[in-house]
């Protein structure tokens, strides 16, 4: 199964995750989800594949989260999904899908155990060195 990353090139975590994937020898299918947002069905499938709650995928920083009042528990999962579809910036990133599973890769090194051949160590943009799980 090919590797897919739902990517935002303006996000350092997303850039580091993409670099780790490429360093492992994979050339992923890169979906810039702000330009090409997932459909409702794709978003629901990603949430189910990751095994997370809809609310866990919401991004607060740099989004209309607060102004839309999305922190209020009154919102149903369907309403939160609709908000993410209308405002894709609300979808936290990067999401990576491989044959080993799907995951929100925050921090970026969470991608390492999704890869068949992760690098032993990787230096992030900020100079932090991370190591592949043993």
Of 30, 36, 44, which is closest to residue 96 (Cα–Cα)? Answer: 30
Q: Which of 48, 128, 33 has its CA nearest to residue 90? A: 33
The catalytically annotated residue of 3, 6, 8, 11 is 11
Residue (of 112, 126, 120) closest to 21 by Cα position: 112
Residue 79, classed as helix, strand or coil, is helix
Cα(40)–Cα(43) distance, integer angstroms: 5
**Which candidate, 85, 89, 87, 83, places its Cα nearest to that of 71?**
83
From CA 8, how far away is CA 16, in angstroms rounded? 11
User: What pLDDT is stored for residue 132 in this prediction?
Assistant: 82
Predicted confidence (pLDDT) per residue in 47-62, tens digit: 999 999 999 999 999 9
Per-residue confidence (pLDDT) for residue 134, from 0 to 100: 60
Q: Which H/E stretch holds residue 6? A: strand 4-7
Residues in the chain: 134
Domains identified in the chain and CATH numbers = 4-131 (3.40.30.10)
What is the distance between the alpha carbons of residues 71 and 68, in angstroms, rounded to a whole number?
A: 8
**Do residues 89 and 63 make contact, with C-beta atoms less than 8 angstroms apart?**
yes
- The answer to whether residues 90 and 65 touch, using CB atoms and an 8 Å cutoff, is yes
Average pLDDT, integer, range 6-30: 96
Q: Is 11 a catalytic residue?
A: yes
pLDDT digits (tens, 9 = 90+) for 62-107: 999 999 999 999 999 999 999 999 999 999 999 999 999 999 999 9
């Amino acid at each position: 199964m090919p590797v897919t990353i739902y990517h935002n090139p303006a996000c350092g975590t997303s850039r580091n995750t993409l670099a780790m994937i490429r360093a492992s020898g994979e050339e992923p299918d890169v979906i810039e989800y702000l330009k090409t947002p997932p459909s409702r069905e794709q978003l629901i499938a990603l949430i189910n594949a990751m095994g997370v709650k809809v609310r866990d995928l919401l991004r607060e920083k740099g989004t209309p989260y607060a102004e839309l009042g999305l922190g209020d528990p009154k919102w149903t999962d369907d309403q939160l999904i609709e908000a993410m579809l209308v405002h894709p910036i609300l979808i936290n990133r990067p999401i990576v899908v491989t044959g080993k599973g799907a995951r929100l890769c925050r921090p970026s090194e969470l991608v390492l155990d999704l890869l068949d051949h992760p690098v032993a160590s990787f230096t992030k943009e900020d100079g932090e060195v991370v190591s592949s799980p043993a």
